[in-house]
A and B are shown apart, each in its own frame.
Chain A
Amino acid sequence: MSGAPIQDTFDAEDGPRVRVRIHLNPKDRRHRWRQRQVIPPPVEVWALLDTGAECTCVTPGVAARLSLPVARFRMANAPGLAGLTGALVRDASFTIVHPAGGRHDLVLPELEVTELDLAALGYDALVGRDVLARCVLTYNGPAGSFTLGY
């Protein structure tokens, strides 16, 4: 554990959410810098902590704002959306933003994120089990609160 966990409240409809920062991964940033291409600023959005998601997901809109490079394809099972569907996996860097400041953030410089149209669910991103595997998530349903340590 790297410090104080994130502690927050949630309502049952939205579920536990954290602020996340998505950006190009360092390899891609170096590559674009060498090619004299524009490097967009990182994008910050709210993300649902989703133990039902195998992998971390972002919306096509977030991927497009950053021009995240496509890495591969996969089948994704999204019961809340279209069920089993084709999806693209993109290279990214991914940060869970701690409200107390940058030194408490969980920074993952290289993470594959799956692009899924989450708009129907009202989210810009899902934090899946690939990231939660590094965390301790405590979900207090009756109190409507959660803590996330890492």
Chain B
Amino acid sequence: MSEPLKPFPEAWKPLETEIRAYYRALPQLLADGEAGRYVVIKGDTVYDTWDTFRDARQYGYEKFDDGQFMTQPVDPKMLGVLEQFFGPAPVAAPAPEEQVA
């Protein structure tokens, strides 16, 4: 039996769509070696990753007229945190097999 899901934190409600998108994308981001970088997400669209929070924020302010977007570290610990609200995380796509000569 799996644990029942916990209610989504009230404080996070303004970012609920972005947090769901982050959780969906996180396994793939980690598989792609993006841990420690910063991802920009607006709505359910995951944009790119940057080395620094500052660079990622700069990108977002330039790209989005309303100035509203999320900049989140790609952090494996968040898989466990968010699983309790959303259920098991999606599995990352396997890396393409290397061509064998």
Contact = CB atoms under 8 A, between A and B. Distances in A.
A88 B14 contact: yes
Interface string B49-61: 0000110011001
Given A27-B57, A27-B58, A73 B67 contact: no
Interface residues on A, range: 20 to 34
A72 B71 contact: yes
B19 interface: yes
B28 interface: no
B67 A86 contact: no
A87 B15 CA distance: 11
A35 interface: yes
Given A27-B57, A28-B61, A35-B65, A71 B12 contact: no
Contacts of B14: 70, 88
Interface residues on B, range: 20 to 34
Nearest to B73: A72
A85 interface: yes
B54 A110 contact: yes
A115 B11 contact: yes
A115 B61 CA distance: 21
A85 B70 CA distance: 19
Given A31-B61, A87-B11, A72 B67 contact: no
Interface of B: 9-12, 14-15, 19, 53-54, 57-58, 61, 65-68, 70-73, 81
Interface of A: 27-28, 30-32, 35, 69-73, 75, 85-88, 91, 110, 112, 115
